[in-house]
Amino acid sequence: MPARLLVGVARPHALEGLSSLRQPWRSLGASSLRAAATDVEPLQQGSAAATAPQVQDVCAVLRSRGLLQDVTSPDLATISSQEQLLAYCGFDPTAESLHLGNLLGIMVLAWFQRCGHTPVALLGGATGRVGDPSGKSAERPVLSEELIERNVKGIELTLRTLLQPPPGSGLPEPLVLNNLDWFGGMGLLTFLREIGKYARVGTMLAKESVRKRMESESGISYTEFTYQLLQGYDFVHMRRQYGVRVQVGGSDQWGNILAGTDLMRRMMGGPEAADACGPSSSSSSNSDTSGSEASDAAAPTGTQQGAGAGSSDGSEGAAADPCFGLTFPLLLKADGSKFGKSEGGAVWLNADMLGPYQFYQFLFKTADADVIKFLRMLTFLPLEEVASIETAMQAPGYAANTAQRRLAEEVTRFVHGEQGLQQALKATQALAPGAVTKLDADSLEAIAGDAPSASLPRDRLVGALLADVMAAVGMQPSKAAVRRMIKGGGVRVNNERIEDELHMLSEEDLIDSRLVLIAAGKKNKMLVRVA
C-alpha cells in the first residue's frame, strides 16, 4: 500500500495514528542523509515495498492545492515519488517574525514532509546581512548585527515549531540551518575564487530583480547585486553537505533559484546535472506565470555546461542526482498587493507581535472570493472537504462566514497551537455583542492590540462616573455625548449594556482587578487599565 497522504489535520501534533510513513534516516548524521535518500526503493503498489520508506509525488499534491507555480523540470514529480528528497526554503531575518505570506513556504515544506521528504528551513543569517533586491524598488536598509541575531532567533522558533512532526508520526524531522555557518568565516578571496569564478555577469545582469533596479534612479549596490550568488551558493553547499536537491520559494524567488541551479551546474559539472538542474521551458506547471520573473524564466540555460566542472570539495559524484527548483504563487491581498512585511500591516506569525485573537480575526475577515483558495493553500484540510464547503457556500441557507470560520480555526491552530486557538475563540465569543461568556484578563489582553488602550489611576476609575471615564480617555468628545449614547443603548462595559446614564464604575467592573473593556457602539472599543 502506498503511504497515505497526511491531510485533514491542521497541526502536525494531531497526526498520530494517521501515518504509515517511517523515517529510517532519523538517526543518521547530516552527511549520511544524502546516501540514505538515494537508497530508497521505488514504491510499488501492494508489494514488499511496503517495508521501504514511503514517499509520494509532491508536485501532484502541491498543484492540487494551488501551491505550484513553476518547476525547473517535470521530472521532480517522478523522482519525488521514488526517492526521499531534502527540500529547502530560505527565510531572511529581516524582521523578528515571519508573516502570513511566508506561511506558504512553510506549507510547501510541510507538504514535502507529509509526502515523506525532509523539509529544510534555511535561516538567512548571512543573506539577511546583504539584502535580496527581488521585488524591491529601493535598496534595503542595513540591519545591525544584534538585530539580525534577534530576528534569527524569532523566526527559527516558528520554523522549528511548525515543522516539528508529532512523536510517533514517522514523518521526517526538519533540518534547520543558517547560511552564516558557511559564509561567516569565508574570506573575500575564497568567495571570488571558489564561487565568483563560476558566475556569469551577463546572466546576473539579466535577472529581473537587477534589471529593474538598474533602470531606477538610485540603481543597485554591488552588495545587493551579489545577493543571487549567495543564495545560489547556499543550494550548492547544502547539496554537497546534506544532499539537498530541491529549493522552493515564492514566485519572486525564481531568479535566485535559477541562480542556484545554474551555479550548481557550473560548479559541480557533469551532463546529468546540466540536464536536470536547468529550467525547462515546458516545465511550467501553470500557464499563468505572472508572478514569476519572466526574463529569468527565459534566461539561457545549458550554455557553457560544465564550465569549471569539478568542485574544490571533491563532491563530483553529486552531479549524478538531479536537483530542482520549484516556486509557489504569492499570496495576495484583495487589492492585489503581496502579503509581506515591508508593505505595512503585516500579519505576523509570532504571537508577541500579533496575538492569536487578531490573527484569527484577520483570517475570519477573508473575502468570500478568496476563502476557498486560502483553504486549499493554507490548511491541510482534505480537498474533498474544501470542495464540500465550496458547494455549501452556493447553497441556499448557507450560514455566512462558515467557510471563513473554518479557515481561521485551521490556520490559527497550526500557527498558535490548540491553546492559541482556544484563546482566540474565547475572546471572539466574549466580544460578540450581548455575549454571555465572561471575559477574563488574558482574553482581554489578547484583544488589546486590536482595541486602543488607556490607563487611569484606580481612584479615577473605581467610584467614577462612566461618562467621566469615557470622556477622560477620549472615547467621546464630551460627557453629554456619552450620556446620549447610553440613552441610545450603545454603551457596554465588559460587554454588558449600560442603561443608567449615571452609571458608576465599581471594583466588580475591574476584571482581575486591573482591566475594564468599554465599548461605545460596535467599533469604538477601549481597554482601560489601572495605572
Ligand X SMILES: Nc1ncnc2c1ncn2[C@@H]1O[C@H](COP(=O)(O)OP(=O)(O)OP(=O)(O)O)[C@@H](O)[C@H]1O
Ligand Y SMILES: N[C@@H](Cc1ccc(O)cc1)C(=O)O
Which residue, 255, 253, 269, is CA-closest to 302?
269
Q: Which residue is nearest to ligand X (CB)?
A: 250
Among 169, 256, 358, 443, binds ligand Y (CB under 6 A): 256
Which residue, 493, 497, 466, 495, is CA-closest to 481?
466
- Interface region with ligand Y, contact rule CB under 6 A, candidates 120-128, 341-349, 454-462, 517-525: 120-128
**Least Å from the CB of residue 11 to ligand X:** 21
Between CA 103 and CA 234 the distance in angstroms is 21
Among 116, 119, 165, 250, binds ligand X (CB under 6 A): 250
Q: Which residue is nearest to ligand Y (CB)?
A: 90
Among 19, 56, 84, 94, binds ligand X (CB under 6 A): 94
Binding status of residue 32 toward ligand X by CB under 6 A: no
- Interface region with ligand Y, contact rule CB under 6 A, candidates 89-97, 216-224, 267-275, 469-477: 89-97
Binding status of residue 90 toward ligand Y by CB under 6 A: yes
Q: H or E element: which one contains 89?
A: strand 86-91
Between CA 54 and CA 51 the distance in angstroms is 8
10 vs 106, which CB is nearer to ligand X? 106
In residues, how long is the chain?
531
Q: How far is residue 62 from each of residues 4, 96, 153, 327, 404, measured CA to CA in Å? A: 15, 28, 29, 10, 22
Among 254, 339, 360, 364, binds ligand X (CB under 6 A): 339
Binding status of residue 92 toward ligand Y by CB under 6 A: yes
Asked if residues 25 and 39 have their Cβ atoms less than 8 Å apart, the reply is no
**C-alpha triplet 523, 456, 438: angle, nearest 5°:** 55
Residue 208 interacting entry, from ligand Y, ligand X, none, C-beta within 5 to 8 Å by type: none
Q: Which of residues 151-190 bind ligand X (CB under 6 A)?
A: none
**Least Å from the CB of residue 128 to ligand X:** 9
Binding status of residue 224 toward ligand Y by CB under 6 A: no
Among 57, 234, 252, 409, binds ligand X (CB under 6 A): 252
Between CA 136 and CA 138 the distance in angstroms is 6
Binding status of residue 349 toward ligand Y by CB under 6 A: no
Among 25, 91, 359, 414, binds ligand X (CB under 6 A): 91
Binding status of residue 132 toward ligand Y by CB under 6 A: yes
Q: Give Rg (Cα) of the chain.
A: 27
Query: DSSP per residue over 476-517, as a string?
Result: SS-HHHHHHHHHTT-EEETTEEP--TT-B--GGGSBTTTEEE
Handedness of CA 287, 249, 72, 265 (dihedral sign): positive
Binding status of residue 93 toward ligand Y by CB under 6 A: no
Side chain identity, residue 459: D
Among 54, 127, 443, 453, binds ligand Y (CB under 6 A): 127
Cell numbers standing for residue 6: 497526511
Residue 395: φ, ψ to 5° = -80, 150
- Site residues, ligand Y (CB under 6 A): 90-92, 122, 124, 127, 132, 179, 231, 234, 249, 253, 256
- Site residues, ligand X (CB under 6 A): 89, 91-92, 94, 99, 101-102, 104-105, 132, 135, 249-250, 252-253, 330-331, 338-342
